[in-house]
Chain A
Amino acid sequence: MIIDIQQLADSSEIGGSIAIVGCGAAGITLAIELTEHFKDVVLLESGGLEFEQETQRLCEGTILGHAAGSLDTSRLRFFGGTTNHWNGQCAPLDAIDFEPIEGRAFSGWPFSKDEFIPFYRRAYGYCELGEYQSASRFIEDARPTVREMIDSDEFELTEFRFSPPTRFGQRYRAQLQSSDRLKIYLHANVTDIAVADNGGSVTALEARTLAGKKFRVKASAYVLCCGGIENPRILLNCTRYFPTGVGNGNDLVGRFFMDHLAVFGIGIAPQIESFDYRLLAVHLEGTIRVKIAFKNSVDVVRKPGRRGCSLILGYDLPEHLESAFDSPAYKAFQQFVRYARLKKLPPNMLDTGCAVLDDPRAIAAMLGYRLSERAGMSTVPKAIEFHLEGEQAPNPTSRVLLTDAVDALGVRRAGLDWRISRQDRDNLYESAMALARGIGAAGSGRVVVPMLANEDQSMIQTAWHHMGTTRMHDDPKQGVVDRHCRVHGLANFFIAGSSVFPTGGRVNPTLTIVALAVRLADHLKATVKRA
């Protein structure tokens, strides 16, 4: 059942066995899992079923450190959350990401990848990725050619699978709506967390609408699923019982912010034209899109100062489409599409519209190509471009904090002080240089690396993957939540999502977010009494 909380009387009380805050990938997965077991699950969503500008403005915040895009466009605040603009690229974390590495601070997860694989299997279903498998046949098929293409033992082959992408709100709305075990409350913004007098458990959540109505949500257990920025923001804002914020007794909430470090423009001029670079483009495995890429080998990741890094084939247009791709008409068309997804019009509507009408042939050519690409019929490119997505080391000075600005609910806004260390940057540079050396040694081409061997970080871009701000660790001095995602010191308060990642690995986080939500659901089913 979906209820707009604005329709309820002011000061109403809502109750259930489990209260989930946030309707993104984690919250919706938890709701589906938990309604199999509990008869009265409550799901709170800050926004509505569709994009609303006024609610989205609650996400606005300040960028204090490295440029990380704006906080209000990197995530979405309506039913389905940020999966509403997700590109669908998925891969499980590598086994080494879970391992504590000797001499490396803040490394490892409280469990191994082997223990986590059953949850990845179930997460594949939610993300519509087919059956879980450690590697597809494409990797084996590609291996001999790749050996000729790159002469290096610093890389291994890896693959990404693409979700359709699953828009969790749209995909699972009917299923959730038809459940008589679940109540979804829209426009409910959590503004405070009430804690028992002994400080050992949460007793209620205080929620408000933008129109000013107040509500109280009571449950046996509570799960916060609002993402890597909003989870710490909520905890830090709730200072009624704990002066430094909920779960922040050791000053860890908001710290260890990580993103994936993206660098574009690693170009390859092929020396041997017969190489079929299509093996690194998107393939179809049934209906699932699969893409092979390089990653830093385990031996490289273990080296001091090195981390995981993916090297992914990017710009792969054939020559005759380069001008169409670069045309102002196609750029304007893309802008229209991006804004249309947000149900908005571009700010410079007239200019953009005129630009689109200037060259409809360029737009048609690009759309035709994109369709053929989806059908696995794209042609061999003239030049090849890779981009890097590198892991960032957990760093306590890289953090989400509160600024003095407040939103429409009177809640302090987030500031993001993203710090990238010299080591993080050097790992990207070394990975790109290793690719260049490997391609040169094979005699298959020459590589242009858009980075210098210095401290310049200007070419590093955000991947919009907000991680680590309520990190998981069994020791309360090193983590906000324990291995079961329970906030240390609070018996019935849990956090789901990428904010609990102790390390971020090199892969996109959504699949792991969903797998962690499935794992948490199993734990809640086993430990929380049914009402």
Chain B
Amino acid sequence: MKRWTRRSLLIGGALIALPLAGLGGGSLWCRVTGRQPMRTRAALLRDVYPASAAVRDLGWRYLAQTGSTAERSLRRLEGRAEIASAADSGCAKATMAALERACRDDFRRGRVHCIDGWVMAETELDMAALCAMRAAA
């Protein structure tokens, strides 16, 4: 039987340590940059988009044009399984990615609205509506 050498132990240790370090680092990164475990799904969705003046304005216009409310927007977003699951994870990055995929899906399925001529996905407009309400609150 082959003996363990110092070199093989070092290599073996490194092989085990690298994935662990990656896992730990990734977890730490997500915690620092995106994970907000203390927040509810609704709170994360309300905060994940930057509420710039343009986004808020877009949200108001959308609500005015469709006669809808921010609560309905929130319910619609929470009703999308992928978005809800990403938001439940508490990771802002994962939520943003899910929102982006949902927007693409909206365009594919024709769930779009024209705001001042701009053709926008329903999901991103719902998010803009949340931003508008957040700023008003």
Contacts and interface: CB of A to CB of B under 8 A. Distances in A.
A437 B104 contact: no
A44 to B, nearest CB: 50
Contacts of B117: 448-450
A151 B120 CA distance: 15
Contact of B120 (A441, A443, A446): A446
B118 A446 contact: yes
B94 to A, nearest CB: 17
A442 interface: yes
Interface stretch (B35-43, B76-84, B106-114): B106-114
Contacts of A443: 100, 103-104
Overall SS of chain B's interface: mixed
A447 interface: yes
A440 interface: yes
B91 interface: no
A198 B52 CA distance: 80
Contact of B108 (A151, A446, A452): A151
Chain B interface category by residue count: 10 to 19
Given A440-B112, A453-B114, A433 B104 contact: no
Nearest to A453: B114
A478 to B, nearest CB: 38
Interface residues of A, number: 17
Contacts of B107: 151, 436-441
A115 B104 CA distance: 43
Contacts, number: 46
Interface in B33-75: none
A133 to B, nearest CB: 34
Contacts of B9: none
Given A151-B108, A452-B114, A453-B114, A437 B100 contact: no
A385 B48 CA distance: 31
Nearest to B121: A440
Contacts of A447: 118-119
B114 A437 contact: no
A437 B120 CA distance: 9
B104 A446 contact: no
A302 to B, nearest CB: 20
B112 A436 contact: yes
B108 A441 contact: yes
Contacts of B119: 433, 436-437, 440, 446-449
A530 B117 CA distance: 62
Nearest to A265: B117
A448 B121 CA distance: 13
A436 B121 CA distance: 10
Interface string A439-476: 11111001111101100000000000000000000000
Contacts of A446: 118-120
Nearest to B119: A436
Of A151, A448, A450, most B-chain CB atoms within 10 Å: A448
Nearest to A266: B117
Nearest to A447: B119
Given A151-B107, A450-B117, 20 more contacts: A151-B104, A151-B108, A436-B119, A437-B107, A437-B110, A437-B119, A439-B107, A440-B103, A440-B120, A440-B121, A441-B105, A442-B104, A443-B100, A443-B103, A443-B104, A447-B118, A447-B119, A448-B117, A448-B119, A449-B119
26 contacts: A151-B104, A433-B112, A433-B119, A436-B112, A436-B119, A437-B108, A437-B110, A438-B107, A439-B107, A440-B103, A440-B104, A440-B119, A440-B120, A441-B105, A441-B107, A441-B108, A442-B104, A443-B100, A446-B118, A446-B119, A448-B116, A448-B117, A449-B114, A449-B117, A450-B117, A453-B114
Interface of A: 151, 433, 436-443, 446-450, 452-453
Interface of B: 100, 103-108, 110, 112, 114, 116-121
Closest 9 CB pairs of A and B: A440-B107, A436-B119, A441-B107, A448-B117, A441-B108, A437-B107, A448-B118, A441-B104, A447-B119
